Amino acid sequence: MANLIERMNGMNIKMINFSKSIINPKNEKIMKKILLLGVIIICAITLHAQPGTISLNLDAGYTFHDKVDFDAAYTDVQAAFRYGGGIEYFAGFNKSITLKYHRMDTYFPLYTQAGVRINPENDYKGSVNYILLGGNTYFGDMDAKASPYGGLGLGVGVIGINDNTATKFAWDARLGVKIKTASVVSLKLEAYMQSIISTFGSDVWVSAGGYAYAVPDYATLWQFGFTGILCFDFKR
């Protein structure tokens, strides 16, 4: 019984440290500054670059669930509908720069590693948001009706829980195909992987000489899904 109490106390300390890391209202200001900086960067590139195509993109898709471990506990971020939009600038027919925002409203049920629900009366309703700056490379001929592409992006992930937010490093990778029409409207079908990386608390390591060192723990959210993107292409 004493060992069980000690383990539960350790788990509580971990969860308190995780809560301090994830929930911080000050991060909302950081998110706004990063978003504004991204808009300024892509606008500056668009204004000073050679004539090309500007694409306004609206997308809707589905993100599958993912288990995130916190040593003595874990959360199962529930699968949910994802929506968002962005701007894509083509300096040439096969290279583009993207700035996009995506959001999914979901739940964060919490469990011990034995599968016992910690928050049975509170699902911790919240959201997962991404603000990413990146680029795509398209393959095939310029006149092709269907163009496969791949891309990468870097930016921030914003986790919101109970009206509080936290901003962490995020990245994404994507593969898809763009289907063109005779009008300014085109369609993308895309598979994506998005990830947010966060520290939570720390572990104590003891060296052979008896010295104790605090080493940060990391938790990573991996999100995989599919989306359809409606594109409105305008020549510049």
Confidence check: pLDDT of 162 > 50:
yes
Q: Minimum mean pLDDT among 119-128, 157-166, 220-229: which range?
A: 119-128
Calpha distance 52→39 (Å, rounded):
18
Tell whether the model's pLDDT for residue 140 goes beyond 90: no
CB 157 within 8 A of CB 168: yes
Task: Tell me: pLDDT of 13 over 50.
Answer: no
Task: Count Cβ atoms below 10 Å from residue 193 Cβ, excluding itself.
Answer: 13
CA distance 55 to 183: 13
User: What does the pLDDT look like over 31-68, one tens digit per residue?
Assistant: 556 666 666 665 665 555 555 788 999 999 999 999 88
For the ranges 65-74, 188-197, 209-218, the lowest mean pLDDT is seen at: 209-218
Q: Which domains does the chain have, with CATH numbers?
A: 2-235 (2.40.160.20)
How many angstroms separate the CA atoms of 18 and 230, rounded? 38
220 with 197: CB under 8 angstroms?
Answer: yes
Query: Measuring CA to CA, which residue among 57, 32, 27, 54 is closest to residue 43?
Result: 54
